[in-house]
A and B are shown apart, each in its own frame.
Chain A
Amino acid sequence: MKAASFDYVRASSKKEVLQLLHEHGEDARILAGGQSLMATLNMRLTQPKVVIDINRVEELNRIRNESGYLAVGAAVRQVQLTDRAELAREVPLLAKALPWIGHFQTRNRGTVCGSVAHADPSAEIPLCLVTLGGSVVLESLKGKRREVPAAEFFQGLLTTDRQPKELISEVRFPLAQDGTDYRFQEIAMRHGDFALVALALCLRADGAHLGVGGVADRPVAQTLPLGDELPAALNTLAWSLGAQDDVHASAAYRRQLVRELGQRLIEEPSHARPR
């Protein structure tokens, strides 16, 4: 499997990237870590005319701790977050989810924003972004810079709100809040495979905000009551996701995973302190 031919541009600034996107629109693809794009190019599932490489754009390779959120630029690799000692304090949910993403060899190159742009329904980073109520920042040459809530950004299987001339310049993860316990769990055929069901949880004294990946055509998060009402609420959530049978698992098994894993994740004793 070899990619169809395309023009390659190694951009050196964000402005150049935006200009190229303005010029080529849908005919262009952004090459960041390449861990999804390169596979689809090799399989000729996508055949862009122009590939815009942003790996050497320094201004897109930044992580900023702003008031209230952690901003992760378009060229930041997953391993840069894994190596960030403060992450367990800043965005503990993400710190717990990162080891579940692919393998260390793919996290070495794969980017955070690339995973968001690809919008695989079972991907961990979009799930965390939706569950935490984060956002996606989109920029274009002529249009207005806009910040889209994650829940609106993901629109379905590999489908997002990004317009052809827009670049995802950064994603924003809300910082940890006091009194919230962050938990992550997933079931896959083998560790590192695509999740059959992935769960991200923000647990507070008055409720559980649970995000589910791998079942619906996008990550979905909902606040559930604790105590006696929880099983019924989990059951309703499980049925609402429109699970489908596929070669990996039946819809019934996926619903059961949402109920059972969800209950366990919410009710397991609190960990002393994450890492």
Chain B
Amino acid sequence: MHAPAEQRSEIELELNGETRHGRTEPRTQLCDFLRHDLGATGVHVGCEHGVCGACTVLVDGVASRSCLMLAVQADGRRIDTVESLARDDVMNDLQQAFSRHHALQCGFCTSGILMSCVEFLQRVPTPDEAQVRDMLSGHLCRCTGYTGIVRAVLEVAGQRQSGESQQNASENPNDV
């Protein structure tokens, strides 16, 4: 594929389970393409040089900083953003736990952290606190001091292990 600088190339990708199309210049970062062209404004753009982690999305299931990828690189890939987590307006277990534990204040960094957690909990289903903190070292949160986030992630890991998570969600969908 050869995409000339000033030309907008066709990109097709799977965003949160749906096939989506757009056209953009080679220099467009994936985060900007997701927000401006595809309307996935849950992707938050912070530092734009890979330090803060706010723009983290899943690329083929792998947590990646979307400011460090070109939109043209995502052609043919599967992208999941924070918009993929809730089902029928009910937040998923991780989002509910973040709310319960005050794991966010302004919320700017939260969508990126949630997407890191999605892959992290698949790779490390029973993490200890040190592992959670290591995972969070890839994100900057200036509000919380991370304590609530650590609690929320550990709680969800425990719940998923004991299989309580789904039960709780169905019994108390509004307990958030």
Q: Which residues of B lie under 8 Å from residue A7 when comparing CB positions? A: 2-5, 26
Selected interface stretch from B60-68, B101-109, B152-160, B166-174? B60-68
For the complex, is A253 an interface residue (Cβ under 8 Å from B)? Answer: no
Query: Is the pair A109, B64 in contact by a Cβ cutoff of 8 Å?
Result: yes
Query: Is the pair A105, B64 in contact by a Cβ cutoff of 8 Å?
Result: yes
Contact surface of B with A, Cβ cutoff 8 Å: 1-6, 9, 25-27, 29, 32, 48-50, 53, 56, 59, 62-65, 67-70, 72-73, 116, 119-120, 134-135, 137-139
- Give chain A nearest CB distance to B47 CB in angstroms: 9
Instruction: Find residues 34-83 in chain A having any chain B CB closer than 8 Å to their own CB.
Output: 34-35, 38-39, 41-43, 49, 51, 53, 55, 79
Minimum-distance CB pairs A-B, first 10: A103-B138, A8-B26, A39-B49, A10-B1, A38-B68, A5-B5, A105-B138, A8-B3, A3-B27, A192-B137
For the complex, is A248 an interface residue (Cβ under 8 Å from B)? Answer: no
For the complex, is A104 an interface residue (Cβ under 8 Å from B)? Answer: yes
Report the separation of the CA atoms of residues A90 and B21 in the bound assembly, to the nearest whole angstrom: 44
For the complex, is A9 an interface residue (Cβ under 8 Å from B)? Answer: yes
Q: Which residues of A lie under 8 Å from residue B69 when comparing CB positions? A: 34, 38, 109
Q: Known contacts being A2-B29, A6-B5, is A106 close to B73, with CB within 8 Å? A: no
Q: Known contacts being A5-B25, A103-B137, is A55 close to B68, with CB within 8 Å? A: no
Q: Which residues of B lie under 8 Å from residue A41 when comparing CB positions? A: 27
- Give chain A nearest CB distance to B133 CB in angstroms: 8
Contact surface of A with B, Cβ cutoff 8 Å: 1-10, 31, 34-35, 38-39, 41-43, 49, 51, 53, 55, 79, 99, 102-106, 108-109, 190-192
Query: Is the pair B29, A106 in contact by a Cβ cutoff of 8 Å?
Result: no
Q: Which residues of A lie under 8 Å from residue B73 when comparing CB positions? A: 10, 31, 34, 53, 55
Query: Is the pair A2, B53 in contact by a Cβ cutoff of 8 Å?
Result: no
A7-B2, A105-B65, A108-B62 provided; 11 other pairs, C-beta below 8 A? A2-B27, A8-B26, A9-B1, A9-B3, A38-B67, A41-B27, A53-B73, A103-B134, A104-B120, A109-B62, A191-B134
Consensus secondary structure, chain B interface:
mixed
Report the separation of the CA atoms of residues A108 and B50 in the bound assembly, to the nearest whole angstrom: 13
Task: Look across to chain A and name the residue whose beta carbon is closest to the beta carbon of B134.
Answer: A191
Query: Is the pair B56, A105 in contact by a Cβ cutoff of 8 Å?
Result: yes
Query: Is the pair B116, A105 in contact by a Cβ cutoff of 8 Å?
Result: yes
23 contacts between A and B (CB under 8 A): A5-B27, A6-B27, A7-B26, A8-B1, A8-B9, A9-B3, A10-B1, A10-B73, A31-B73, A34-B68, A34-B69, A38-B50, A39-B68, A42-B29, A43-B49, A53-B72, A79-B62, A104-B138, A105-B63, A105-B116, A105-B138, A109-B65, A190-B137
Q: Which of B1, B26, B48, B137 contacts A42 (CB 8 A)?
A: B48
- Give chain B nearest CB distance to A69 CB in angstroms: 28
- Give chain A nearest CB distance to B139 CB in angstroms: 8
